[in-house]
A and B are shown apart, each in its own frame.
Chain A
């Protein structure tokens, strides 16, 4: 059991989260995680379909994302029409839409592949926007009562 935890948490005498940060700190960085190199084929496949070196995805990859987006939409409509969730409907719909949102922004708009600068700009605007509009909704919901 102790061995399992050691394997899970440590690698070569140090925590696996303590990976070398840059190639200069360690000329031959060990990219192994707690699962050994079981992850390597997945990572290779990922690199292949996203053509990571080209900084954009391949057409196949985009089609896969498109299919996922369609499936989420179908699930949404299905859940709306045939699942009677009551109070859970709104959170479920928000989570599913957030998924679609992230997929489009991350892959179709290339934020995942592009320089982080763009992601920072967009995220900052989203944070300010969501922050103030949620505050506004809370204020108008609980702040005062309109006398009809």
Chain B
């Protein structure tokens, strides 16, 4: 995270490193390349989900389980955390330390709320009889959303670390780039959720038993 080159770094007034051949900050370039790599990671899982859509041999199927209202609330929470993130960065970059700190911790809180929703959802589904071992839908659903949740958890920890740094004054206007990296990561996790919400919930939430498979009658 905080690794950097001592050989070249000279920062401009925005705290950005300028003395590189492209004029781009090393860290930010690294982050964008990493996000490109993560595109392939989530892309593979989402592709797997779509391949296995409507292929489960036993229930429960999406239509028996998924509840759009609850998940749309958690989606809204994650979107708002993205907004809080961009505001935090904006204020830290302007040197308005207190507002920035407030918004960083808002992101932490909103991200944690999202995670609680996910824990609730997982428990609820397990109660209804869907676990990763039940059928293909369960496998692909839990692993994809679970790994997204792991990304969110990592982001929450990272932002908590930065939030305390901002409280103590080690995260300031001149090294706001560290927060910007965490922000890029956080927004990326958010756009992944936008795609997951669309693919799993909005597109396939009405999927019932595929032809040849028995309907789900509950346990």
* Direct contact between the two chains A and B in their complex (CB within 8 A): yes
Inter-chain contacts of A56 with B (CB < 8 A) = 90, 93
B187 and A73 form a contact (CB under 8 A): no
Interface residues in B8-36 by Cβ distance below 8 A to A read 14, 22-24, 28-29, 32-33, 35-36
Inter-chain contacts of B91 with A (CB < 8 A) = 59
Whole-angstrom distance from the CB of A36 to the nearest CB of chain B? 35
A100 and B23 form a contact (CB under 8 A): no
How many Å lie between the Cα of A126 and that of B195 in the bound state? 13
A65 and B32 form a contact (CB under 8 A): no
Inter-chain contacts of B140 with A (CB < 8 A) = none
Number of residues from B at the complex interface, CB < 8 A = 48
B43 and A117 form a contact (CB under 8 A): no
B47 and A104 form a contact (CB under 8 A): no
From B78-86, B121-129, B144-152, B160-168, the one touching the partner chain is: B78-86
Quick check: is A8 within 8 A (CB to CB) of the other chain?
Answer: no
Quick check: is A122 within 8 A (CB to CB) of the other chain?
Answer: yes
Give the dominant DSSP class at A's interface.
helix
A66 and B194 form a contact (CB under 8 A): no
Give the dominant DSSP class at B's interface.
helix
Whole-angstrom distance from the CB of B53 to the nearest CB of chain A? 10
| A66-B79, A125-B37, A137-B50 known; A108-B32 Cβ under 8 A | no
Interface code B32-73, partner A: CB below 8 Å = 1, 0 otherwise?
110111011001101100110000000000000000110010
From A9-17, A21-29, A38-46, A76-84, the one touching the partner chain is: A76-84
How many Å lie between the Cα of A94 and that of B204 in the bound state? 12
Number of residues from A at the complex interface, CB < 8 A = 45
A80 and B202 form a contact (CB under 8 A): yes
How many Å lie between the Cα of A90 and that of B197 in the bound state? 13
A108 and B44 form a contact (CB under 8 A): no
Show the binding face of B for A, using Cβ within 8 Å: 14, 22-24, 28-29, 32-33, 35-37, 39-40, 43-44, 46-47, 50-51, 68-69, 72, 75-76, 79-80, 82-83, 85-87, 90-91, 93, 183-184, 187-188, 190-191, 194-195, 197-198, 202-203, 205, 212
Show the binding face of A for B, using Cβ within 8 Å: 55-59, 62-63, 65-66, 69-70, 73, 76-77, 80-81, 89-90, 93-94, 96-97, 100-101, 104-105, 107-109, 115, 117-118, 121-122, 124-126, 128-130, 133, 136-137, 140, 148
